[in-house]
Amino acid sequence: MLKTRGYATTGPRAKLGPFNFERREPGEHDVLIEILYCGVCHSDIHQARNEWGNSAYPMVPGHEIVGRVKRVGPAVTRFKEGDVAGIGCFVDSCRVCDNCKDGEEQYCENHTVATYNGTERDEKTPTYGGYSSQIVVDENYTLKVSPDLPLAEVAPLLCAGITTYSPLRHFNAGAGQRVGVVGLGGLGHMGVKLAASMGAEVTVFSTSKAKEEDAGKLGAHNFVVTREARNLAPLAAKFDFILDTVSAQHDLNIYLNLLRRDATMVLVGLPDKPAELQAFSLLANRRRLAGSSIGGIRETQEMLDYCAEKGITSDVEVIPIDRIEEAYERTVKGDVRYRFVIDMETL
Ligand code: NAP
Ligand code: ZN
Ligand code: ZN
């Protein structure tokens, strides 16, 4: 077994702190990765604090992982020592169900193995995430990362990037489309960059007036402060697609009303409390409300390659690991521009 250092929490109200544990020796198809950077996703906070009610402790969060390959198993063909590699939100799945065969492993019918707060396929061994010195993952669930981009800025692509890229592609956002992004945080700012890069006219809906200038720099064409309902009225039925990235309970109906006929709003944000839905908001204009969860391995690789080609990365604030609690507090307040990333050398 491989002695591994990490940062863990032991309960919903505990603070994160140093935690030593063991990872398996790399098997035939495994890659051992020394972790260089790990992004701080709001899902880390929801789960560290048991806001979804499914948390297991001790928990080592982190699923936006970039690192360097240290060792590979004898049957590994896609990676060699020294390569830059990425790990996202899951590290295995059943591989045989229809969804796995379609490359949509995040919807595995049997068991998508979450990178942390989950169990391996044996349903027993807990998985520990990226707030740690190293990780061992099957090469089929490991992503190739271009060494040409700043790696701290690439880490958030592994969750925030794919979670916004996948629905934009699935619902054909692009040139000639009006796309709305609700919430300008980690996911939201990637949604803006990606939608703009695909040619869409992008409008940010934000509670934070102070983010207006940034939104423009990220590629947004319009910015709407949502605290005043009158700002939304003139935009009724104007949008082809809306991506809702908000992490807390909020009114969905005011955004549904902005969709034109047959247009779709996709929820990617995962508030702990349910939303109230007015049937009228959907019936008018035959609107659709959908959800989307991260993306499969094939699409995640496609997204990484797309970002490398277009020079798209995340706007990050790199922190030492002992500032993780402060980073959580600031993220919850919406005070992050636009992703905290842990420099794992500080572990
Ligand atoms: P984040 O960086 O904290 O961004 C969330 C943004 O939502 C905030 O910056 C803020 O933007 C807005 N917001 C927060 N509280 C609000 C409130 N009470 N009312 C209205 N707006 C509010 O979080 P993130 O990492 O982007 O994650 C966002 C959500 O997506 C989380 O719930 C996370 O768990 C979920 N998630 C889902 C997937 C998936 O596969 N579907 C993947 C990753 C994350 P403004 O300041 O602009 O208003
Ligand atoms: Zn995430
Ligand atoms: Zn499966």
Let me know: does 135 contact 5? Beta carbons within 8 Å.
no
Nearest CA to ligand 1 atom 30: 269
Dihedral sign, Cα of residue 264, residue 102, residue 135, residue 155: negative
Which pLDDT does position 76 carry in this prediction?
Answer: 98
Instruction: At 124, list the tokens.
Output: 């027993």
Which pLDDT does position 125 carry in this prediction?
Answer: 97
The amino acid sitting at 222 is N
Q: Is 180 in the pocket of ligand 1 (CB under 6 A)?
A: no
Ligand of minimum distance to the alpha carbon of 88 = 2
Q: Is 43 in the pocket of ligand 1 (CB under 6 A)?
A: yes
pTM (2 d.p.)? 0.98
Please tell me the distance from the alpha carbon of residue 98 to that of residue 122, in angstroms, as a whole number.
20
Question: Ligand 3 center to residue 111 CA distance, Å?
Answer: 6
DSSP string, 158-227: GTHHHHHHHHHHHTT--TT-EEEEE--SHHHHHHHHHHHHTT-EEEEEES-GGGHHHHHHHT-SEEEETT
Please tell me the distance from the alpha carbon of residue 78 to that of residue 88, in angstroms, as a whole number.
17
Q: Which among 245, 255, 337 is the best mutation to test ligand 1's pocket, defined by most ligand atoms within 8 Å of the CB?
A: 245
Q: Is 294 in the pocket of ligand 1 (CB under 6 A)?
A: yes
Q: Which of 31, 8, 97, 40 is nearest to 331 (CA)?
A: 40
Q: Is 250 in the pocket of ligand 1 (CB under 6 A)?
A: yes
Nearest atom in ligand 1 to the alpha carbon of residue 331 is 3
Helix H segments across the chain? 42-48, 98-101, 151-154, 160-170, 186-197, 212-218, 253-256, 279-283, 297-310, 324-332
Which pLDDT does position 193 carry in this prediction?
Answer: 98
Ligand of minimum distance to the alpha carbon of 105 = 3
Which pLDDT does position 228 carry in this prediction?
Answer: 85
Which pLDDT does position 296 carry in this prediction?
Answer: 98
Nearest atom in ligand 1 to the alpha carbon of residue 106 is 40
Which pLDDT does position 224 carry in this prediction?
Answer: 97
Let me know: does 7 contact 17? Beta carbons within 8 Å.
yes
Question: Ligand 1 center to residue 45 CA distance, Å?
Answer: 11
Q: Which of 143, 145, 87, 106 is nearest to 296 (CA)?
A: 106
Please tell me the distance from the alpha carbon of residue 288 to that of residue 18, in angstroms, as a whole number.
45
Phi-psi region of 13 (alpha: psi -120 to 50; beta: other; left: phi over 0): alpha
Question: Ligand 1 center to residue 51 CA distance, Å?
Answer: 14
pLDDT tens series, the chain, 347 aa: 999 999 999 999 999 999 999 999 999 999 999 999 999 999 999 999 999 999 999 999 999 999 999 999 999 999 999 999 999 999 999 999 999 999 999 999 999 999 999 999 999 999 999 999 999 999 999 999 999 999 999 999 999 999 999 999 999 999 999 999 999 999 999 999 999 999 999 999 999 999 999 999 999 999 999 998 889 999 999 999 999 999 999 999 999 999 999 999 999 999 999 999 999 999 999 999 999 999 999 999 999 999 999 999 999 999 999 999 999 999 999 999 999 999 999 99
Let me know: does 261 contact 238? Beta carbons within 8 Å.
no
Question: Ligand 3 center to residue 108 CA distance, Å?
Answer: 4
Let me know: does 31 contact 69? Beta carbons within 8 Å.
yes
Question: Ligand 2 center to residue 244 CA distance, Å?
Answer: 15
Q: Is 304 in the pocket of ligand 1 (CB under 6 A)?
A: no
Question: Ligand 3 center to residue 98 CA distance, Å?
Answer: 7
Tell me the β-bridge partners of 21.
4
For residue 341, give the H/E element and its range. Answer: strand 339-343
Question: Ligand 2 center to residue 299 CA distance, Å?
Answer: 16
